[in-house]
Structure 1
Amino acid sequence: MVLDAPAAARWPGVRPGRGHYESYYLRAVHPTQPRGVWIRYTVTAAPGGPPNGQLWFTLFDRAATPPLAVRVDAGEAVSGGDAWIRLGESTFGPSAFVGQAASSGRSVSWSLRSSAEEQPLEHLPHDWMYSARLPRTKMLTLSPTAVFDGTLEVDGDTIDVTGWPGMVGHNWGEEHAASWIWMHGLAFDNHGADTWLDVAVGRLAPGPVTTPWVANGALSLDGERLALGGLGRRVTVVAEEDHCVLRLPGKGVTVIAAAAAPAEAFVEWDYASPDGSAHRVVNCSVADLTMRIERRGAAPVELRGPHRGAYELGRH
């Protein structure tokens, strides 16, 4: 299953009268220190309204908490040329990620590039789900693992990100899930770049009743990609704002993944929906992540990724 253009902007094709949100984002983490960055270019369009853009920048450093967070309005979003999304002079595209933002006396900028060998991950199990109106939330990962180089500038100080592992993602939809969890992990101890976890778990509220948790995503173990979750597989969730444990079933595999970080290492945002409502979201992109992988006929595998996991929890 491969979409023709997984990185293509969706907001230019939204039908009149429908709302829309869309985000391109990246995370990169220091290979050995609990330090990382999360950058998000986002678009929100109320029904019949223009695609208004925002830039989000968060620098995580567990040795100097809390995270440094900057978010600014960035005008109307456009797409084309060398950029999947362009917000003023800030661009996010296949060859580079460049931008700047200033708010509340803080000033940040970034000039990054990435290289990746992994194919995109489509979280939804069928291609038609990405073009149909339902589900209302679409998610895919353009690069489940990547290696970044370039620099960040934070209040005049330069941070070199050469060799930082990370990922590049893309999501969009008509409305956010009622509640969601995103967990991502890479650069696990004693494993290469072809071992990673990327899973989204959500609860929907299409009417007065909220659905059970549904997981979609994958584990790559030494290059073998294993789909996790789906409508027919029950996921177990224990989620608090500073830690989460997921039991994720797949075909012939079960993954128990646990992410945690000190409460002060999380950033808190509100995620706006096209209808004007908002979700409260906490995110730590330098969380500790451990996994136990159980497969039929094989000994369990234990993975550790200190400070190299991402954990996000969103809810009303």
Structure 2
Amino acid sequence: MTSYRGNLPRYRPGTDHVESWFVRANDAASARSIWLKATVLTRRDGTSLVQAWCSTFDDDRTQAFCTEVPLADATFSANELGTFIDLGVLWLDLGPDQIRTGGALEHDGSRVDWDLTLVRTPGPLGRPLSLLPSDRLVEGRLPSNKLLTPFPSGTCAGRMSLDGVSWDLDGWSGMQGHNWGVAHSPEYAWGQCLFLEDGTAVGMVEAASGRTEIGRRRSPLVSMLVVRHRDQEYRFDRLIDLWRQRPEIVFPQWTLAMRGPHGRAELRMTGRPSRMVCLDYSNPARPTSYCLNSKTAEVELHVEPTREPAFTLRSEHGGALEFLSDQPEPSVTTLSHQEQS
């Protein structure tokens, strides 16, 4: 997979479809992060719109912004040089080795604006990644929700201003992802983390545990996990081997133990409710879902490879952690896009 193919738009007007491109940047020195997202929502009845999201995380001070625009007023273009998305209030230039984004959103007297560049980490750590084990599954009908990470690891430059307070983003670490499906999964936990040594990324993990709907029934939790450590990659992506995966989702913590040909891995991610935002996610033909969103989660990863020495990686506040459910969480303030438009 190339970053070009990984960021190609997949939506078709007149179908039930939800699709997002997102960018995250984290400060290595503190629990600060910025998360940006463009989401396309189309429905069979022909209605369609695009949402521009920005959430900021600064210790216990969290804030979220969202604006909706008609899909007809947005620009989407793609070629071998990348994908360009312009919603007016937010734009994304998703190139092969560099991403740029800028924009400004307002709500209830608050304003956030940004100009951010993300440059891919050279070598295996920054190579485009898919949690799914094959391109056939990415392009096929099943699973119904797809997730690609065209930029798993990068270095940021730029600035952000929140209510007149400027953040210098130079040297922050970051990533960019892309997902789509007929609707959001009915339940999932997703996480991604870059592990740094002296400000340089030396490892990363991305994982997900989720359910899908088969007819009127929900499947068991199905999990995937990929670890990159220096020049090595360890994949735990055999979707049907449920006896080799032990996921446990108990908000605000998610733990996942996996076994496979590459060895064993145990992941624990913990978010603090005071450092999270609860975002209402619209679905084309289903009730609203609620995303409990942390971008400063604590992460611990232990890997016992089959042929290499075991290692443990930790991050105090560098993890992206999301829980999706059909109910909001009382301990996290829900920030509704209807209220923020």
Q: TM-score, normalised by structure 1?
A: 0.92
2:91 aligned with 1:91? yes
**CA 1:240–1:41 in structure 2 vs 1: closer, same or farther (change >3 Å)?**
same
| Larger displacement relative to structure 2 (301-310 or 247-256) | 247-256
One-letter amino acid of the structure 1 residue matched with residue 325 of structure 2: R
2:233 aligned with 1:225? yes
Contact 1:188 1:303 (8 Å CA) reproduced: no
- Supply the distance in 2 between the matched residues of 1:142 and 1:59 (Cα, whole angstroms): 22
- Supply the distance in 2 between the matched residues of 1:294 and 1:286 (Cα, whole angstroms): 26
| Larger displacement relative to structure 2 (253-262 or 42-51) | 42-51
User: Which residue number in structure 1 is paired with residue 293 of structure 2?
Assistant: 283
User: Which residue number in structure 1 is paired with residue 76 of structure 2?
Assistant: 79
2:188 to 180, 183, 188: 180
One-letter amino acid of the structure 2 residue matched with residue 277 of structure 1: P
Q: Displaced runs of 4+ in structure 1, greater than 6 A? A: none
1:249 to 256, 259, 269: 259
User: Which residue number in structure 2 is paired with residue 270 of structure 1?
Assistant: 280
Contact 1:152 1:158 (8 Å CA) reproduced: yes
**CA 1:191–1:68 in structure 2 vs 1: closer, same or farther (change >3 Å)?**
closer
User: Which residue number in structure 2 is paired with residue 301 of structure 1?
Assistant: 311
Contact 1:7 1:84 (8 Å CA) reproduced: no
2:210 aligned with 1:202? yes
One-letter amino acid of the structure 2 residue matched with residue 70 of structure 1: F
Between the two proteins, the alignment pairs up a number of residues equal to: 311
- Supply the distance in 2 between the matched residues of 1:294 and 1:300 (Cα, whole angstroms): 4
Map 1:49-128; keep pairs closer than 5 Å.
49-62=46-59, 65-76=60-71, 77-80=74-77, 83-94=83-94, 95-116=99-120, 117=122, 118-128=126-136
Contact 1:189 1:305 (8 Å CA) reproduced: no
RMSD of aligned residue pairs (Cα, Å): 2.0
Contact 2:149 2:177 (8 Å CA) reproduced: yes
User: What whole-Å deviation, never above 9, does each CA across 1:246-272 have from its counterpart, x for those lacking one?
Assistant: 112332222111111322111101111
| Larger displacement relative to structure 2 (267-276 or 281-290) | 267-276
3-state SS of the aligned residue for 1:186? strand
Looking at secondary structure, tell me which structure has more helix per residue.
2
Contact 1:36 1:285 (8 Å CA) reproduced: yes
Contact 1:2 1:127 (8 Å CA) reproduced: no
Superposed displacement of residue 149, structure 1 = 0.6
One-letter amino acid of the structure 2 residue matched with residue 221 of structure 1: H
- Supply the distance in 2 between the matched residues of 1:205 and 1:239 (Cα, whole angstroms): 18
User: Which residue number in structure 2 is paired with residue 259 of structure 1?
Assistant: 269
3-state SS of the aligned residue for 2:6? coil
Contact 1:23 1:43 (8 Å CA) reproduced: yes
Contact 2:265 2:302 (8 Å CA) reproduced: yes
User: What whole-Å deviation, never above 9, does each CA across 1:17-67 have from its counterpart, x for those lacking one?
Assistant: 4211111101111011111111111111111424311111111111xx141
| Larger displacement relative to structure 2 (83-92 or 141-150) | 83-92
One-letter amino acid of the structure 2 residue matched with residue 73 of structure 1: E
3-state SS of the aligned residue for 1:162? coil
Gaps of 5+ in 2: 327-341
2:26 to 5, 26, 29: 29
- Supply the distance in 2 between the matched residues of 1:300 and 1:241 (Cα, whole angstroms): 28
One-letter amino acid of the structure 2 residue matched with residue 6 of structure 1: G
| Larger displacement relative to structure 2 (297-306 or 284-293) | 297-306
User: Which residue number in structure 1 is paired with residue 39 of structure 2?
Assistant: 42
3-state SS of the aligned residue for 1:9? coil
Superposed displacement of residue 5, structure 1 = 1.3
Contact 2:280 2:291 (8 Å CA) reproduced: yes
User: Which residue number in structure 2 is paired with residue 237 of structure 1?
Assistant: 247
One-letter amino acid of the structure 2 residue matched with residue 111 of structure 1: D
Gaps of 5+ in 1: none
3-state SS of the aligned residue for 1:41? strand
Q: TM-score, normalised by structure 2?
A: 0.85
3-state SS of the aligned residue for 2:215? coil
User: Which residue number in structure 1 is paired with residue 153 of structure 2?
Assistant: 145
2:9 aligned with 1:6? no
Q: State the identity as a percent.
A: 25
- Supply the distance in 2 between the matched residues of 1:155 and 1:134 (Cα, whole angstroms): 44
- Supply the distance in 1 between the matched residues of 2:40 and 2:112 (Cα, whole angstroms): 20
